[in-house]
Chain A
Amino acid sequence: MPEPLHVKVFRFNPESDVAPKFDHFQVPVFDNMAILDVVMHIQNYLDRSLSFRFSCRIGMCGSCAMYVNGRARLACRTQVSSLKTRDITVMPLPNFPIIRDLVVDMEPFFDKWKKIKPYYLPKKEIDAPVTVQPDSDEREFIDDMLDCISCGCCYSACSMVATHKDYLGPAALNRAYTLIADKRDAIRVERLKAVDRSYGVWRCHTQFNCAEVCPKNIVPTRSIQNLKRRCVLKKIGVFK
Chain B
Amino acid sequence: MHAWTWLLQRISAVILLIVVGFHIGFLHFSNTGEPLNYGEVVTRLKTPILMVFDVLLLIFGIYHALYGVYSVFLDFDSGKKERVLVFALFVAVGVGIVGFGIFGLLYTAGSL
The finding on whether chains A and B are genuine partners in a shared complex, rather than unrelated, reads: yes
Q: A93-131, CB under 8 A of B: which get 1 and which 0? A: 000000000000000000000000000000000000000
Contact A164 B75 (CB under 8 A): yes
**Pair A198/B75 contact, Cβ less than 8 Å:** no
Residues of A within 8 A of B75 (CB): 160, 163-164, 203, 205
A160 cross-chain contacts in B, Cβ below 8 A: 75
How far apart sit A195 and B60, CA to CA, in the bound complex (Å)?
28
Stretch binding the partner chain, chosen from A10-18, A27-35, A214-222, A228-236: A228-236
Given contacts A205-B71, A232-B7, contact A198 B2 (CB under 8 A): yes
**Cβ < 8 Å to A, chain B residues 1-60:** 2-4, 6-7
B contact residues around A163 at 8 Å (CB): 75-77
Is B65 positioned at the interface, with any CB of A under 8 Å from its CB? no
Question: In the complex, which of the residues A164, A196, A203, A205 contacts B3, with contact meaning CB atoms closer than 8 Å?
Answer: A196
Q: Which of under 10, 10 to 19, 20 to 34, or 35 or more describes the interface residues of B?
A: 10 to 19
Q: Per-residue 0/1 for A198-240: is the Cβ within 8 Å of any B Cβ (1 yes, 0 no)? A: 1000110100000000000000000000001001101100000
Which B-chain residue is minimally distant from A205 (CB atoms)? B71
In contact, A235 and B3 (Cβ under 8 angstroms)? yes
Q: Chain B residues with Cβ under 8 A from A196's Cβ?
A: 2-3
Q: Give Cα A232 to B6, complex, Å.
A: 9
Q: Which of A164, A202, A205 interacts with B2 by CB under 8 Å? A: A202
Separation of A117 and B4 alpha carbons in the complex (Å): 26
Complex: chain A residue closest to B80, CB-CB: A198
Q: How far is the CB of B14 from chain A (nearest CB, A)?
A: 15
Cβ-defined contact, A228 with B3, below 8 A: yes
Q: Which residue of chain A lies nearest to B72 when distances are taken between CB atoms in the complex?
A: A205
Shortest beta-carbon distance, A176 to chain B, in Å? 16
Assess whether B91 is interfacial by the CB under 8 Å rule. no
Residues from chain B with a CB closer than 8 A to the CB of A235 are 3-4
- What residue of chain A has the Cβ atom nearest to residue B77's Cβ? A164
B7 contact set on A, CB distance < 8 A: 232
Give the distance to chain A from B5, nearest Cβ to Cβ, in Å.
Answer: 9
Which residues of chain B are near A198, meaning CB under 8 Å? 2, 74
A171 to chain B, nearest CB (A): 20
A196 to B6, CA, bound (A): 12
A residues whose Cβ falls under 8 Å from a Cβ of B: 160, 163-164, 196, 198, 202-203, 205, 228, 231-232, 234-235
**Chain B contact residues, CB within 8 Å of chain A:** 2-4, 6-7, 71, 74-77
6 pairs of residues in contact across A and B, judged by CB atoms under 8 Å: A163-B76, A164-B75, A228-B6, A232-B3, A232-B4, A235-B4
The 5 closest A-B pairs by CB, nearest first: A202-B2, A231-B3, A232-B3, A235-B3, A232-B7
- Known contacts A163-B77, A203-B75, then 19 further A-B pairs from the complex at CB < 8 Å, ordered by chain A residue: A160-B75, A163-B75, A163-B76, A164-B77, A196-B2, A196-B3, A198-B2, A202-B2, A203-B74, A228-B3, A228-B6, A231-B2, A231-B3, A232-B3, A232-B4, A232-B7, A234-B3, A235-B3, A235-B4
